[in-house]
């Protein structure tokens, strides 16, 4: 029998008011102040991180981004100053350039965040997020240590006391100013999986494509990148083998995330079209 009293909320936990929901009502305005390193590795190794039916590019192109993030739900635009802890977080993304059929896109294979509500967004959209300590250099140019001709900014991810990755980008002076981030085009692929809790309840396994609105980028600077992966428990970055760094960058980016995902493939047998 259907419930006579509806529950509300963008995510669990749901209540009659929705006030306790981990994720606030969409859409969300999101921005990042990012360090970004592009790299290449063996496409056969990349394939281990991609959903079924999604193939790596022959070049094995990939990236790591560590960023200070800001999130504001349109349901509470004053949150950014009233409750900064609910609007600020750090994030690291390991992603791969790939294709699904004729579509070329990006897939964020592994994501580390330091806020539980960002973790909840991952469950909705299919980002494989986990809690970790994510840190990056604060590029405050008034600091005397950053006043020289060369700047080196870095970021780290640690989880349960184990190092997962370390990255850095070195800039000569203010770095080379770019009009666009190299290779940052194409679709955004999502993989959403919800395990079955019982023999008569089907699992959910879907491949989706997500579009963003209000996208802008600024202050894109090019430098020299470095990247280290560590052999940490419950992590498998070391399986990517030797990587070739192809670029290092910093930038600021903003966009709006909403319920705009479209289904590309349902692994239970329902395909778009």
Only one residue has tokens 């640690």, namely: 158
Residue 269 has pLDDT above 90, yes or no: no
Residue 261 has pLDDT above 70, yes or no: yes
pLDDT of residue 98: 97
pLDDT of residue 149: 82
Residue 133 has pLDDT above 90, yes or no: yes
Residue 220 has pLDDT above 50, yes or no: yes
Residue 37: which of 236, 183, 239, 187 has the closest Cα? 183
DSSP line for 211-263: --EEEEEEEEEEEEEEEEE---TT--GGGG-S-EEEEEEEEEEEEEE-S--EE
**Distance of alpha carbon 37 from its chain centroid, rounded?**
14
Residue 174 has pLDDT above 80, yes or no: no
Structure confidence by residue, pLDDT tens digits, 3-60: 677 899 999 999 999 999 999 999 999 999 999 999 999 999 999 999 999 999 999 9
pLDDT of residue 198: 96
Tokens standing for residue 169: 């980008």
- Asked whether the beta carbons of 227 and 41 are under 8 A apart, the reply is no
Q: Three-class SS string for 17-46?
A: CCCCCCCCCCCEEEEEEEEEEEEECCHHHH
99 in helix, strand or coil? strand
pLDDT of residue 59: 95
Residue 247 has pLDDT above 70, yes or no: yes
pLDDT of residue 251: 97
Residue 259: which of 70, 39, 25 has the closest Cα? 25
For residue 66, what pLDDT band results from cuts at 50, 70 and 90?
A: very high
Tokens standing for residue 267: 């692994």
Residue 65 has pLDDT above 80, yes or no: yes
> Rounded to two decimals, what is the model's pTM?
0.94
- Mean pLDDT, range 252-259, rounded to an integer: 96
Only one residue has tokens 């394939």, namely: 47
pLDDT of residue 272: 44
Residue 150 has pLDDT above 50, yes or no: yes
For residue 186, what pLDDT band results from cuts at 50, 70 and 90?
A: confident
Structure confidence by residue, pLDDT tens digits, 67-83: 999 999 999 999 999 99
Domains of the chain by start residue, with CATH: 28-189+213-258 (2.40.400.10)
- Asked whether the beta carbons of 69 and 110 are under 8 A apart, the reply is no
- Mean pLDDT, range 193-201, rounded to an integer: 95
Structure confidence by residue, pLDDT tens digits, 94-112: 999 999 999 999 999 999 9
pLDDT of residue 273: 41
- Asked whether the beta carbons of 229 and 158 are under 8 A apart, the reply is no
For residue 2, what pLDDT band results from cuts at 50, 70 and 90?
A: low
- Asked whether the beta carbons of 64 and 92 are under 8 A apart, the reply is yes
Tokens standing for residue 51: 């959903």
- Asked whether the beta carbons of 136 and 155 are under 8 A apart, the reply is yes
pLDDT of residue 3: 60
79 in helix, strand or coil? helix
Greatest CA separation found in the chain? 70
């Amino acid at each position: 029998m259907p419930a006579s009293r509806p529950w509300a909320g963008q995510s669990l936990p749901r209540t009659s008011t929705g006030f306790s929901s981990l994720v606030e009502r969409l859409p969300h305005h999101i921005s990042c102040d990012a360090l970004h390193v592009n790299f290449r590795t063996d496409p056969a190794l990349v394939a281990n991180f991609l959903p079924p039916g999604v193939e790596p590019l022959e070049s094995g192109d990939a990236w790591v981004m560590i960023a200070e993030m800001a999130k504001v739900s349109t349901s509470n635009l004053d949150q950014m100053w009233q409750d900064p802890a609910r609007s600020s977080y750090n994030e690291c993304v390991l992603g791969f350039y790939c294709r699904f059929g004729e579509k070329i896109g990006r897939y964020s294979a592994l994501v580390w965040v330091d806020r539980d509500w960002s973790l909840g967004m991952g469950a909705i959209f299919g980002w494989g997020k986990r809690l970790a300590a994510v840190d990056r250099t604060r590029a405050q140019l008034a600091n005397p240590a950053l006043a020289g001709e060369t700047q080196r900014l870095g970021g780290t991810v640690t989880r349960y006391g184990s190092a997962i990755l370390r990255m850095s980008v070195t800039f000569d002076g203010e770095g080379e100013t770019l009009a666009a981030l190299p290779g940052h085009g194409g679709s955004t692929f999502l993989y959403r999986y919800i395990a079955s809790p019982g023999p008569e309840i089907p699992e959910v396994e879907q491949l989706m494509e997500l579009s963003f609105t209000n996208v802008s980028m600024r202050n894109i600077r090019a430098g020299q990148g470095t990247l280290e992966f560590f052999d940490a428990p419950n992590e498998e970055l070391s399986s990517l083998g030797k990587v070739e760094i192809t670029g290092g960058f910093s930038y600021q980016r903003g966009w709006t995330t909403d319920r705009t995902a479209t289904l590309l493939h349902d692994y239970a047998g329902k395909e778009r079209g």
